[in-house]
Structure 1
Amino acid sequence: MNPADPNFVDVNAYLDRIGDTGDRTPAPEVLERLHFNHVTRIPFENLDIHLGRPIRLDLASLQSKLVWSRRGGYCFEQNTLFAAVLEELGFHVTRLAGRVRLRTHRATPRTHMFLNVTLKQTTWLADVGFGGEGLFRPIPMVSGPPSHQHDRTFRLLDDEGLWVLQSLMEGVWSDLYGFTLEPQHSIDCEVGNYYTSTHPESPFLRTLTVQSRTPEVRQVLRNRELEVRRGAGATLRTIASDDELLVVLTECFGLRFPPGTRFETPVSTLATDTASARAGGTSAVPGGQ
């Protein structure tokens, strides 16, 4: 395919980015491996919003940012790129949208994008863009059975066409997001992305966040506080300066920015949102996001 084609996907560069050297044949084990490698190597982050940059969803921009510049992104970026790679490899992919329910009881807009992947008449929910509380691996679109994934357990429930992805947290099933199976078109994703990245009430404008996870450790930066979880233990660190933040981004998340880079988060919301995140309030960036 011509690199000048707007639909061009550099699969080799993407696989190098996620450290994947395995078989590329469309199969459940390949989908599972690609999903795991993606979520453990590409961090979830919304830093461009706090640099005053637009969030672009065209494939050239996504590959420039997430692959060649070795950055991260949030759901619209991560799952758009992942879908394009899967389709290039021969998987059948449907884009879906959901309402985040984690840490909130109010109705939220459909601003979480994720995927359905069909393989030989079996459908999988795949989501590489939900942040620290999300799936390590895709799960079959079957209501009820739990999926044990390292230190997390997930399940899907189907309530007459309204699906809910849940996670077992401290012995209680908690909703992550709810959705229907209505396919989303590129314009739907563009509208959701625009709201997420520009609307004054969007949590992504109020909270700077970077998150990474492996089976052994989860790291979550919200504004100027870094939480690191290993097993049942956790440490919380307050970042004292803008220069220290750049060091944390590099050392903890592999994200490199030029010296002097400054991220803007409205001062009036900083303390409120950080406190709300700790308490599980609705001002926190949703969905572990």
Structure 2
Amino acid sequence: MSDSVPSVLFDLDAYLRRIGWQGERRADAATLRGVHLAHMRALPFENLDVLRRQAPSLEQADLMAKLVHGRRGGYCYEHNTLFACALEALGFRVTLLTARVVVGADSIASRPRTHMALLVDIPGEPRPYLADVGFGAIGALLEPVPLVADAEFAGGGRRHRLVHVPHDGPLEMWVLQAHDQVKDDWAGQYAFTLEPFEKPDLDVINWHIGTNPRSPFTQRVYVQSVSAARHLLLHGRLLTETRADGTVTERVVTGEAEARRLLEEEFGIAVPEGMTLLTG
């Protein structure tokens, strides 16, 4: 990734302060897991720019200003581009991947490649890791997982596994699955191959998702935050809290003032001036 996403503008010290990481700065599995989890718990997932039909910038200076120095979050391209810069600064080798989100899909082929994930090589490790700090769903990885098929991994209180599925292309198709506590079953999250992508490829996908009027992220507010105790999601007017034990509570947000207060106080997001959060 180094040739396509230069790190000259990336401030590792500022990034690590933002996510609260005070551990080792080594290119090893423990650091990868720790920084991944710290990022997930510190930086919210949000689509406020996209809700205004503005494709967010993936340039490092803009990502630093928004996610590191500003009280904002972002969606997958922002989170994973920023995280890739941090990993490279720590000494990891990172490959950009794209994926087809299969949550609720009838088939893998029915979904385009609209998600960004990362493949991370650790010096001395026999296999790479799948890392992803930008998947805005309850089935998101909280810690990266080794690229191993049919093995269950637990991290941050969630259970995941990677499986192979039939695929006509020349590369193997992998699917990330998350364990559903309520149904006691495995649910596919997204499918991907190991074909490397470059920043210009992600710029095109980002622009499409950020401006297309049929994109799910241009329709209504979508914000989530993760802590050790809960997963909190505001989707439109519905606020859903999922506790660590699987207990789910839902309620409807009463109006614009409450939505703004929730984003400020519960999600830690500074809402842009003059923005309307609840539409329709």
TM-score of the superposed pair, with normalisation by structure 2: 0.89
- 2:249 counterpart of 1:235: yes
Partner of 1:179: 192
What does the per-residue CA deviation read over 1:58-108, in whole Å, with 9 as the maximum and x for residues that have no partner? Answer: 111111110000211111000000001111111100000000001221511
Partner of 1:211: 224
- 2:259 counterpart of 1:245: yes
Partner of 2:205: 192
What does the per-residue CA deviation read over 1:175-207, in whole Å, with 9 as the maximum and x for residues that have no partner? Answer: 100011000111110111111111122111123
Q: Mark the CA change 1:202 to 1:17 in structure 2 (over 3 Å): closer, same or farther.
A: same
Contact 2:259–2:278 (CA under 8 A) maintained in structure 1: no
What does the per-residue CA deviation read over 1:136-184, in whole Å, with 9 as the maximum and x for residues that have no partner? Answer: 1000001011012344210001246011111121222111000110001
Report percent identity of matched pairs.
Answer: 39
The alpha carbon displacement at 1:232 in A equals 3.0
What's the C-alpha RMSD, in Å, of the aligned pairs? 1.7
For 1:196 and 1:202, locate their aligned partners in 2 and report how far apart those are by CA, in whole Å: 6
Count of residues paired in the alignment = 262
- Pairing partner for 1:135 from 141, 145, 148: 141
- Pairing partner for 1:125 from 127, 130, 140: 130
2:196 aligned counterpart, secondary structure = coil
The alpha carbon displacement at 1:122 in A equals 2.4
Q: Mark the CA change 1:52 to 1:178 in structure 2 (over 3 Å): closer, same or farther.
A: closer
What does the per-residue CA deviation read over 1:30-72, in whole Å, with 9 as the maximum and x for residues that have no partner? Answer: 0000000000110111011123433110111111110000211
- 2:56 counterpart of 1:74: no
Contact 2:16–2:22 (CA under 8 A) maintained in structure 1: yes
Q: Which runs of 5+ in 1 are unaligned?
A: 268-289
Q: Which runs of 5+ in 2 are unaligned?
A: 1-5, 167-171
The alpha carbon displacement at 1:21 in A equals 1.0
For 1:43 and 1:212, locate their aligned partners in 2 and report how far apart those are by CA, in whole Å: 5
Q: Look up the equivalent residue of 1:184 and give its one-letter code.
A: F
- Which has the higher mean CA deviation after the structures are superposed, 145-154 or 69-78? 145-154
For 2:152 and 2:142, locate their aligned partners in 1 and report how far apart those are by CA, in whole Å: 14
Q: Mark the CA change 1:126 to 1:6 in structure 2 (over 3 Å): closer, same or farther.
A: closer
